[in-house]
Structure 1
Amino acid sequence: MKRPVSTPLVFAGVVLALAGVATAGGALQTVDATLRGAASTAPADATQQHPWEQPLRTTAIATPRAAFEPMQAPGRTRPNLLLDAERLQAARQALEAMPGLAGERLVVFHSIHFHDDGRIDIDLVDPQQPGHVDGYHYQRGQWRKGDAVNPQQFAPTISLRRSSTALANIDFDAVPRVTQALQQQRNALMRTPAQVGHVYVVIRKGGKLVWLPDEVAGDRQTVRLRYDARGNLQ
């Protein structure tokens, strides 16, 4: 026959059970509070996506701008010397004023060459040694003395005696007249006429001046030109 459980023992068991429930409830509250705290400190999107599902974030890198450089104005092209009578006369006066030539009677040997880019080439007889000839070159507004010239290398057709004349006999204003006449003929006879870039005068027997070029080869015909000593088309 079983003995009934005593009342004190039953009461003690109930107390122990209630204590266990209370302890468990506190633990659950602690866990819940911990989870709530972690959720509040985590990023908002972390609660929605796994780390491997989050979009890749990139940092923009600023590209340094190049320093601003003002645009350079294109340089001015100097006027065509062949058409600039003022510059031609200034070049002549500068030649006559050069050391060793100033105040002397200047004699030109054989030829003078004029170029559209501002160059002039001339051979002069040495005022102090009439048997010597030297080249002179004009460029960028300045004259310089060049190399010695051997007149005998052109013999017998060209000689110092028969192919020389005073600089005073040569009119530099003839250069624009020859250039314009030559260009007009090129424009008339050529479909695509080239610009005149070189004009020269040659001294022939007796000091006769011959201006060149004196020929225009057109598309359908070739024309010979003749100028007088002052560059006028005849």
Structure 2
Amino acid sequence: MKKIFLTSITLLSIGILFSCGDNKKDKESSEKVENTTNDSVAGKESETTETTDAGAELTTNAAALAKAETALKDLPKFKGKEINVFQKIYFYEDGRIIVSLQDPEKPQNIDEYTYKDGKWSEPVAMQISGGGDMKDNVFPLNTIKFETVAKIIEQLEQKAKEVEGAKVSKTVYYNYNVMNQTGQWFTNIDGTRESFSGYFNADGSLKSFNKN
């Protein structure tokens, strides 16, 4: 089975080719994306107890994440339809979510959507290359729940107590492995003397926590 490679016409993803079947390579791909999308969103602190989508609060706030998921499903193009994700979905520490979705009316087309400041962007056309089948490169959005990201970070913060000088990454991504048609969440902890990678099942349960 061949994998379709995704190349964006936007500055966010230019030159990035996602790999599959190798967790280490998946981590490297994530790091490349983070390096090319380093513009932070200034989070404005809320003066009330209401849910806010600002900055890193998004990835640790289950209610805000669920709100973002609902807003995506309610977009006119997707409302009432099955939504398919192309290979990966990123949840960034600065409060953005970036996902590439299959056009339900034109399955051969993939568009990138960015969630920022509490709303989804207009779609940006993606250039697709490779000899694989599109159906093998997408998975149903209903496979996962956005709020799972907060659950994963909570688990990571508990693990961090065992790591000297730990810095918990609040950037989390879900990767769909085209070769074996399965998906998993990934994030990491960087410590003073060592670093660890955390892999989680679709429901957010810990799959493995490995020293790099």
Q: Same fold (TM over 0.5)?
A: yes
Q: 1:93 to 1:224 in 2, by over 3 A?
A: closer
Question: How much does 1:216 deviate?
Answer: 3.5
Q: 1:195 to 1:216 in 2, by over 3 A?
A: closer
What amino acid is the match of 2:135? R
| Counterparts of 1:160 and 1:176, CA distance in 2 | 30
Bigger mean CA deviation after superposition, 216-225 or 79-88: 216-225
1:225 is aligned, of 190, 198, 204, to: 198
* Deviation digits for residues 19-41 of structure 1 (CA, Å, limit 9, x no counterpart): xxxxxxxxxxxxxxxxxxxxxxx
What amino acid is the match of 1:110? Q
Given that residues 167 and 190 in structure 2 are in contact (C-alpha distance below 8 angstroms), is that contact kept between their aligned partners in structure 1?
no
1:209 aligns with 2:175: no
Q: Which structure would you say has the larger Rg?
A: 1
Gaps of at least 5 residues in structure 2 are: 1-43, 47-53, 208-212
1:182 is aligned, of 150, 156, 167, to: 156
Question: How much does 1:230 deviate?
Answer: 1.0
| Counterparts of 1:105 and 1:145, CA distance in 2 | 19
3-state secondary structure, aligned to 1:118:
coil
Give the helix-richer structure, 1 or 2: 1
* Deviation digits for residues 38-72 of structure 1 (CA, Å, limit 9, x no counterpart): xxxxxxxxxxxxxxxxxxxxxxxxxxxxxxxxxxx
Matched with 2:135 is 161
Question: How much does 1:188 deviate?
Answer: 2.2
3-state secondary structure, aligned to 1:168:
helix
1:133 aligns with 2:106: no
Q: TM-score, normalised by structure 1?
A: 0.59
* Runs of 4+ in structure 1 over 4 Å off: none
| Counterparts of 2:190 and 2:67, CA distance in 1 | 33
Count of matched residue positions in the alignment of Structure 1 and Structure 2: 155
Matched with 1:148 is 125
1:76 aligns with 2:45: yes
| Counterparts of 1:76 and 1:218, CA distance in 2 | 28
